Amino acid sequence: MKTKVVLNFNPELANQPITHNLIAKHHLMVNILRAEIDEIGGKMVLELSGKADDIRRGIDYLKHNGVGVRPIKEGVRRDDDVCTHCGMCVSICPTKALAYDPKTGKITFTEEKCVACGVCIDACPPRAMEILI
């Protein structure tokens, strides 16, 4: 099972091996989708994969250590009313979540493939891609 979570933590916690413990103690695969850390704390978007029980225990471990945990359904969203299907995003999306469909000429967005890296956000000329954090 896979789930995406947003973590909010204070500066002291930023120095602790949180992700390491998730991997080592709770047998989870951790994919860091986004991380912003500065002197007033940090925000991280993780994709956790593993057994449902392990994920639950991992999240409990985080909460117990004072990390704010919020599950998210999706990290990046496309506003289809804004997208002009230009295709600028296609060559910069590392996972091919944004791809050209030769049949329709449209650019498709496959959420499951998106790792919320965010590189498409400022590359999209009409600003159709947004990060939901």
Partner 1 sequence: MSTTEKSKKGKPGAKSYEEIRKKIADGDAVVMTAEEFKQFVKSNGTKKAAAEVDVVTTGTFGAMCSSGAYFNFGHTDPPIKMQRVWMDGIQAHAGLAAVDAYLGATELDETNNMMHGGAHVIEDLVRGKAVRLKATAYGTDCYPRKEIDTYVSLRTVNQAVLLNLRNCYQNYAVATNSSSRTLYTYMGKLLPELGNATYSSAGELSPLLNDPYYRSIGIGTRIFLGGGQGFVIWEGTQFNPGVPRTPEGVPKRPAGSIAVIGDLKQMSPDFLRGLTFTRYGSSLGLGIGIPIPILDEEMARSCAVTNDMIFTAVFDYSQQSRSRTVLKEISYAALRSGEVEIKGKMVPTSSLSSLYKARQIAQLLKTQILKKEFMIEKPVQNFSLERVFKPLDVRTEKEAM
**CA nearest neighbour of 130 among 78, 62, 95, 61:** 78
Residue with tokens 């295709």: 87
Q: Which stretch binds ligand SF4 (CB under 6 A): 3-11, 39-47, 60-68, 87-95?
A: 87-95
List the single partner that 117 binds among ligand SF4, partner 1, none, CB under 5 to 8 Å by kind: ligand SF4
For residues 58 and 49, give the distance between their C-alpha atoms in angstroms, rounded to a whole number. 11
For the record, the structure tokens of 85 come out as 């299907």
Q: Which stretch binds partner 1 (CB under 8 A): 2-10, 15-23, 44-52, 120-128?
A: 120-128
Map the footprint of partner 1 across residues 72-91, applying CB under 8 A: 84-91
List the single partner that 13 binds among partner 1, ligand SF4, none, CB under 5 to 8 Å by kind: none
Phi and psi at residue 53, in whole multiples of 5°?
A: -65, -45
The reply to whether 98 sits near ligand SF4 by the rule CB under 6 A is yes
For the record, the structure tokens of 123 come out as 């590359």
The DSSP output letter for 54 is H
Contact positions vs partner 1 (CB under 8 A): 84-92, 100, 102, 104-107, 119, 122-123, 125-127
